[in-house]
Chains A and B, each alone.
Chain A
Amino acid sequence: MKIIYHCYGGAHSSVTAAAVHLGWLPTDHIPGSDEIKAIPYFDRPVTSDHGRLQFMGNDEFGNDIYVIGRRNAARIFENMAIGMAQIYGFCPEQLVLVNVMPYVNWKMVIGGFTSRRLGFTAIGRPVVTAGVKSAYWKIVSIVNRIKVCTASGNTGELMQAN
């Protein structure tokens, strides 16, 4: 199964969700700033990386975990991905697209913009990290839901909920 977490830039919320999914971040307490900053690709992608699929790793069930930044084209991206899966004969139940944007807060938006778009990493990164901490339990909850649904093979319900 291929699980794709997508958000605006593929740099913060989706990367954090993928890290939680892969067990790189704890699910029993909020991680420290250093732990968050140590996630591969966290606050690294730039504008030219938007639309590029990034493989993050395999989870304990053997699922491939990816992240992608798709700006504000969530529905367009999802329609395209599902359509491509159908064209290439890939079982739609084997593809899970998770929009992480509903869990993004204003700190992540402002911090992400400052760090990635304006290039003021020293100012933006602490703000976005604080934002990730604020949104952490929401991100953990969606990842847990994804894990439960994919493990039970209930991905159809998951796609409808998304």
Chain B
Amino acid sequence: MKVFFICRSGHHTSVIAAFLYLGRLTGTKINRKDIFSLPGFDEIDFRETGRPFFAGADHSGTEVYTIGALSYGSLLKKAANEMIQLFNGNTADWQVIDTSSCVSRWTVWGLRTKRLHLRFLAKAFFCLGARKETRRLAGLLKTIDN
């Protein structure tokens, strides 16, 4: 089983979603240290947007990946499903989850400031964004599990 989380950058909202899914993030209140210690968090290379990033695997062998899609979340979700079907055949052992609806505007501002190389400001925005998103993502994951 493979699970793909899609967000704008593939290294912020989707990384939090991936670690919530894997159970390595518990609770909806997380601090700055927790956020920036997540493997892959904010390790973004804008030229590599779209390339799946391996976040980890759980005890049952489910592999979790994150994908950046900028503002093309729903389009890329559809395209990703099509590509997996092309490579994997008709087996249904994958899930593509678009977390774009959970992306906070702080994260969007973080990405904008990061593009302008204002790293300190970007980190502050990402931290605020992550705190807002964690609760929304926990809610989203609950609906998926059900």
Contacts and interface: CB of A to CB of B under 8 A. Distances in A.
Interface of A: 2, 50-53, 66, 68, 70-73, 75-85, 87-88, 90
Contact of A73 (B51, B69, B83, B85): B69
A53 B82 contact: yes
Contacts of A85: 83, 87
B79 A77 contact: yes
Given A76-B70, A79-B50, A82-B51, A52 B76 contact: no
A16 to B, nearest CB: 21
Contacts of A76: 49-50, 68-70, 72, 76
Contacts of B72: 70-73, 76
B80 interface: yes
A87 B75 contact: no
A111 B121 CA distance: 44
A84 B75 contact: no
B50 A78 contact: yes
Interface of B: 2, 47-52, 65, 67-70, 72, 74-80, 82-88
Given A71-B75, A76-B76, A88 B87 contact: yes
Contacts of A88: 84, 87-88
B86 A87 contact: no
Contacts of B79: 51-53, 68, 70, 77, 80-81
18 contacts: A51-B74, A51-B75, A51-B77, A51-B78, A51-B82, A53-B79, A71-B75, A73-B70, A73-B76, A77-B79, A79-B49, A79-B51, A80-B50, A80-B83, A83-B52, A84-B83, A87-B52, A88-B88
B76 A84 contact: no
A49 to B, nearest CB: 9
A59 B67 CA distance: 32
Contacts of B87: 84-85, 88, 90
Contact of A53 (B47, B48, B67, B83): B83
A60 B84 CA distance: 25
Given A76-B68, A76-B70, A88-B84, A83 B75 contact: no
Which are the 5 A-B pairs with shortest beta-carbon distances? A79-B50, A51-B78, A76-B50, A88-B87, A53-B82
